[in-house]
Amino acid sequence: MRFVGSYFVCVHSNLAPTNTEWAEVLRVLRNHPDLGSLRILVYTDGGAPNAAQRSDLSSLLANRKIPIAVITTSVIARAAGTALTWLNPGFRVFPPTEFDKALEHLGASGMDKRSLRDTVEELRRELAKRFAVVAG
């Protein structure tokens, strides 16, 4: 995960986040000085928070209409995302082929779009390396 200006970018593998990993995401968000102005971009290869983790996120974001875009091909992650749209109408799920639409949903333009794409790719590479080391 990483902040890029007023954007929070989070990349997941095909595995669901552990409770420890999710607690770290929540801690980082909770400590943000202006959570209400944040826009969130998530790219996942299928990993999605479980029901309890989604509930914790919903509680943290309660009464805030934060734009959130999730990019995934995973049916499971898309279903988990649908549950969150009921609580936050600014939450949308996009396939990777609609990456630009996801960025537009967040209000990104120009250099922000480029920075966000580059950040997602960099985080995906870092995640792939971490899994390669664990598997090796």
| Domain interval for residue 6 | 2-135
Which phi and psi (to 5°) does residue 98 adopt?
A: -115, 35
DSSP strands (E only) in 37-103: 39-44, 68-71, 91-94
Closest C-alpha among 31, 52, 30, 54 to residue 42: 54
**Residues of the chain under the 50 pLDDT cut:** none
Number of domains in the chain: 1
Say what the pLDDT of residue 91 is: 87
Say what the pLDDT of residue 49 is: 86
Give the separation between CA 133 and CA 67, rounded to whole angstroms.
34
Q: Kindly compute the dihedral angle of the four CA atoms of residues 33, 59, 1, 65, in this order, to the nearest 10 degrees.
A: -70
Q: What is the CATH number of the domain that holds 30?
A: 3.30.750
Say what the pLDDT of residue 83 is: 64
Helix and strand tally (H, E) in the chain? 5, 5
Say what the pLDDT of residue 135 is: 54
Say what the pLDDT of residue 87 is: 65
